[in-house]
Chains A and B, each alone.
Chain A
Amino acid sequence: MQLILEKRSQASSIMNLWSPVLAIFLTIIMGGLIFAMMGKPPLTALYLYFIDPLTSWWSIEEVLVKAGPLVLIGVGLAVCFKANVWNIGAEGQLTVGALMGAMVPVLWGEWQSPLALLAMLCLGALGGALFGLIPAWLKTRFGVNEILTSLMLVYIAQLLLDWVVRGPWKDPQGYNFPKSVAFEGWHLLPMWGDGRMHLGLIVSLIAALVLFWVMRHTLKGFEIKVVGSAPRAGAFAGFSHLKMVWFCFALSGALAGLAGLIEVAGPIGQLQPHISPNYGFTAIIVAFLGRLNPLGVIFAGLLLAVSYIGGEGVQIELGISDKTTQVFQGMLLFFILMCDTLILYRLKWIGRQVNQGSQVNQARKLSEGGAS
């Protein structure tokens, strides 16, 4: 007896929905095991991790605040990955977006107008898009692998931010702390609730809905799907893969840049060396968990936001390192990829006889010349 993967005749749409559920389930079990190995009560820890953040209005607000950037970046990446364009430098695009947008309060702080915030939002998106276009340009002009360049640019962007807040943009009245001037009221996003919820959440929601509509009902959406899944067919239809690389990087870069600006003009309120707890990388997981579907990304973003807040919770309550958050996120991506195998394949036990039969089958196929 042997367990094999048998290719399904067509992708299973049921597994496409169940795979993330299964992956979350497996992550929770593994997480419990890890807590147990660390000598902590697993059930309590898991409760604190996944349920407790949803039990008070205060922590639900925190979850939403964290979900905002994850969804905004995640929907952009979902479109990229759908088109088989690998932008993994969203963290860098986020950083540059925040930097560009912060030009308004830092350089032209006197300009007091409702337009200032609008300018910041536009500059943030522009900065992210331009920074995202660097790997796109290198890819289309020189054929350089976009994975490596977009990632290298993350380090460069973070060093740039570090330099700016310690050097030219350091607040002169800031007691030498590496921070820019605090943004004035007219530079900050409108907030409500207990003062943490902000306009950025609505921006994320709108972005997700618009992209859902684009992917579902427009020619562009169709083009993205075709270029991603069947580039040759796409080429016959006149869809250019190179143009798609430009489009995807511009779009996901702009959304990541916008997310960065929203962070500094929302919850943070100024520039500082660290403006994101790895949102750009976590958004990769969000995109996959959300099935590369903008609506799915909303749910996935909420779940991963819970893991951030839960991670802080267990750190406070049980003294567990907040690194568990990253471990959970890594495991989650791992299990999703694993469970996604079941979309295209089914597990099957085979006995010896069948195996021999299949070998004969295979020999026959080969003697026929093998189409591949």
Chain B
Amino acid sequence: MSAYEAIILTIITASTPLLLAAIGELVVERSGVLNLGIEGMMVMGAVTGFAASYVTGSPWLGVLAAVLAGVATSMLFGLLTQTLMTNQVATGLAITLLGLGLSGLIGSGFVGLPGVKLTSVSITGLTDLPYVGRLVFGQDPLVYLSVILTLGVAYILKHTRVGLIIRAVGQNHHSAHALGYRVVTVRYACIAFGGATSGLAGAYLSLVYTPQWIENMTAGRGWIALALVVFSTWLPARLAAGAYLFGGVWILGLYAQGMGIGIPAQLLSSLPYVATILALVIISTNRRLSVINTPASLGQGFVPDR
């Protein structure tokens, strides 16, 4: 395996959790809901994924458990914001704080234990192809899943009736309601989808990226995913590009540290966060670009007139 292959492989590994979490949030925000709780759902996914795979020995059961944990956490958010009409920003923060606490409590017995790694795909013949073999045919299954999900979301949002309904609900929930669509139900479904992908992203961290449980192991990735959604101006293709770009920045910092350049490690570690701020500034400077796709009802609760 050549050096460039190794670098691209690590970039993909660093990008995939961002892409997974962000693609779910993109759908959530398209339906007009702002879920700031990604970090919390992700870390819950990471700890349950690790725990379930450690107990059962099966990484796939871990992935399943992580998805369920993500959905369960997101449904708490749904219950509060959609049924009880709480403030979405504050509720998202509550989910994050609760998730970080609960995951620490659940995971306190798992710290330092060896994890079960989700193995990469290996197809005889294809995976050994020079240059592209490992990159195309030798990734772990969740990488493929993240690509499929991104393509699927792009297609569904743009070309199907379901996508049209989601966008309608996000653009103008009163009109969508008047047309007979169940605004709250659609939003619950989107929130659940976002929870599922956030759970997956968490599982990716604790089963693939570093197969062990480390407290707060999401390290702000949930927030970066949120920024990515804004950066992508709610377009899946741009989201994927952004996710790989950020994965690149993340790895760049790690590589530079490994090579021992005379730059403080902390400065390099802060690169993803600095890059996030820069990306947000760049995208926000172009008002037209950011306004044109912003779901008009983003962050507003829907109360039907009774």
Asked whether B159 is an interface residue with its Cβ less than 8 Å from the other chain, the reply is no
The answer on a CB contact under 8 Å between B101 and A337 is no
Asked whether B80 is an interface residue with its Cβ less than 8 Å from the other chain, the reply is yes
The answer on a CB contact under 8 Å between B89 and A341 is no
CA distance A152 to B290 in the complex (A): 20
Contact with A362, one of B83, B102, B306 (Cβ below 8 angstroms): B306
CA distance A175 to B230 in the complex (A): 46
The chain A residue with its CB closest to the CB of B34 is A147
The chain A residue with its CB closest to the CB of B269 is A159
User: Which of A99-107, A188-196, A201-209, A323-331 lines the interface with chain B?
Assistant: A323-331
Question: 0/1 per residue, A82-99, Cβ < 8 Å to B?
Answer: 000010100000000000
Question: 0/1 per residue, B202-219, Cβ < 8 Å to A?
Answer: 000000000000000001
The answer on a CB contact under 8 Å between B287 and A281 is no
Knowing A152-B273, A155-B273, A333-B94, the reply to whether A341 touches B85 (Cβ < 8 A) is yes
Instruction: Point out the residues of chain A lying under 8 angstroms from B75, CB to CB.
Output: none
Instruction: Point out the residues of chain A lying under 8 angstroms from B89, CB to CB.
Output: 86, 147
The answer on a CB contact under 8 Å between A143 and B287 is yes
The answer on a CB contact under 8 Å between B266 and A326 is no
**Most chain-B CB neighbours within 10 Å: which of A156, A331, A365?**
A156
The answer on a CB contact under 8 Å between A155 and B98 is no
Question: 0/1 per residue, B255-288, Cβ < 8 Å to A?
Answer: 0000000001111011001101100110011010
The answer on a CB contact under 8 Å between B266 and A162 is yes
The answer on a CB contact under 8 Å between A337 and B86 is yes
**Most chain-B CB neighbours within 10 Å: which of A6, A143, A167, A330?**
A330
Asked whether B226 is an interface residue with its Cβ less than 8 Å from the other chain, the reply is yes
The answer on a CB contact under 8 Å between B270 and A155 is yes
Asked whether A44 is an interface residue with its Cβ less than 8 Å from the other chain, the reply is no
Asked whether B178 is an interface residue with its Cβ less than 8 Å from the other chain, the reply is yes
The answer on a CB contact under 8 Å between B227 and A148 is yes
The answer on a CB contact under 8 Å between B306 and A344 is no
Question: 0/1 per residue, B76-115, Cβ < 8 Å to A?
Answer: 1000100111110111011101111110110010000000
**Most chain-B CB neighbours within 10 Å: which of A6, A143, A365?**
A143
The answer on a CB contact under 8 Å between B86 and A361 is no
CB distance from B27 to the nearest CB of A (A): 19
The answer on a CB contact under 8 Å between A329 and B97 is yes
Knowing A344-B85, A358-B306, the reply to whether A145 touches B280 (Cβ < 8 A) is yes
CB distance from B91 to the nearest CB of A (A): 6
Enumerate A284-336 residues with CB–CB distance to B below 8 Å: 284-285, 288, 321, 323-331, 333-334
Instruction: Point out the residues of chain A lying under 8 angstroms from B178, CB to CB.
Output: 366, 370
Asked whether A58 is an interface residue with its Cβ less than 8 Å from the other chain, the reply is no
Contact with A337, one of B80, B220, B227, B274 (Cβ below 8 angstroms): B80
Contact with A4, one of B36, B105, B306 (Cβ below 8 angstroms): B306
Instruction: Point out the residues of chain A lying under 8 angstroms from B281, CB to CB.
Output: 138, 142, 144
CA distance A160 to B267 in the complex (A): 8
The answer on a CB contact under 8 Å between B276 and A152 is yes
The chain B residue with its CB closest to the CB of A7 is B303
Enumerate B27-85 residues with CB–CB distance to A below 8 Å: 36, 76, 80, 83-85
Asked whether B125 is an interface residue with its Cβ less than 8 Å from the other chain, the reply is no
CA distance A6 to B306 in the complex (A): 8
Asked whether A345 is an interface residue with its Cβ less than 8 Å from the other chain, the reply is yes
Enumerate A181-238 residues with CB–CB distance to B below 8 Å: none
What is the size category of the interface that chain B forms with chain A? 35 or more
CA distance A88 to B39 in the complex (A): 14
The answer on a CB contact under 8 Å between B174 and A156 is no
The answer on a CB contact under 8 Å between A288 and B90 is yes
CB distance from B180 to the nearest CB of A (A): 11
Enumerate A334-372 residues with CB–CB distance to B below 8 Å: 334, 337-338, 340-341, 344-345, 358, 361-362, 365-366, 370, 372
The answer on a CB contact under 8 Å between A333 and B305 is no
Asked whether A16 is an interface residue with its Cβ less than 8 Å from the other chain, the reply is no
Instruction: Point out the residues of chain A lying under 8 angstroms from B104, CB to CB.
Output: 321, 323, 326-327
CB distance from A73 to the nearest CB of B (A): 15
Asked whether A36 is an interface residue with its Cβ less than 8 Å from the other chain, the reply is no
Instruction: Point out the residues of chain B lying under 8 angstroms from A6, CB to CB.
Output: 306
Knowing A143-B287, A159-B270, the reply to whether A330 touches B99 (Cβ < 8 A) is yes
The chain A residue with its CB closest to the CB of B97 is A330
Asked whether B223 is an interface residue with its Cβ less than 8 Å from the other chain, the reply is yes
Knowing A321-B104, A321-B105, the reply to whether A163 touches B90 (Cβ < 8 A) is no
CB distance from B265 to the nearest CB of A (A): 8
CA distance A152 to B102 in the complex (A): 22
Asked whether A43 is an interface residue with its Cβ less than 8 Å from the other chain, the reply is no
Asked whether A151 is an interface residue with its Cβ less than 8 Å from the other chain, the reply is yes
Asked whether A5 is an interface residue with its Cβ less than 8 Å from the other chain, the reply is yes
Instruction: Point out the residues of chain B lying under 8 angstroms from A284, CB to CB.
Output: 93, 97
Asked whether A149 is an interface residue with its Cβ less than 8 Å from the other chain, the reply is yes
CA distance A194 to B261 in the complex (A): 48
Contact with A285, one of B97, B226, B267 (Cβ below 8 angstroms): B97
CB distance from B218 to the nearest CB of A (A): 12
Instruction: Point out the residues of chain A lying under 8 angstroms from B83, CB to CB.
Output: 5
Instruction: Point out the residues of chain A lying under 8 angstroms from B306, CB to CB.
Output: 4, 6, 358, 361-362
The chain A residue with its CB closest to the CB of B219 is A155
**Most chain-B CB neighbours within 10 Å: which of A160, A333, A372?**
A333
The answer on a CB contact under 8 Å between A326 and B226 is no
The answer on a CB contact under 8 Å between A340 and B86 is yes
The answer on a CB contact under 8 Å between B36 and A142 is no
The answer on a CB contact under 8 Å between B97 and A372 is no
CB distance from A348 to the nearest CB of B (A): 10
The answer on a CB contact under 8 Å between A372 and B174 is yes
Knowing A143-B284, A288-B90, the reply to whether A334 touches B226 (Cβ < 8 A) is no
Instruction: Point out the residues of chain A lying under 8 angstroms from B102, CB to CB.
Output: 323, 327, 330
Instruction: Point out the residues of chain A lying under 8 angstroms from B267, CB to CB.
Output: 159, 163
5 contacts between A and B (CB under 8 A): A4-B306, A5-B84, A144-B280, A330-B97, A362-B306
Q: A143-B287, A324-B101 are in contact. List 8 more A-B contacts (CB 8 A).
A: A138-B281, A143-B290, A284-B97, A326-B101, A330-B101, A333-B94, A334-B80, A341-B86
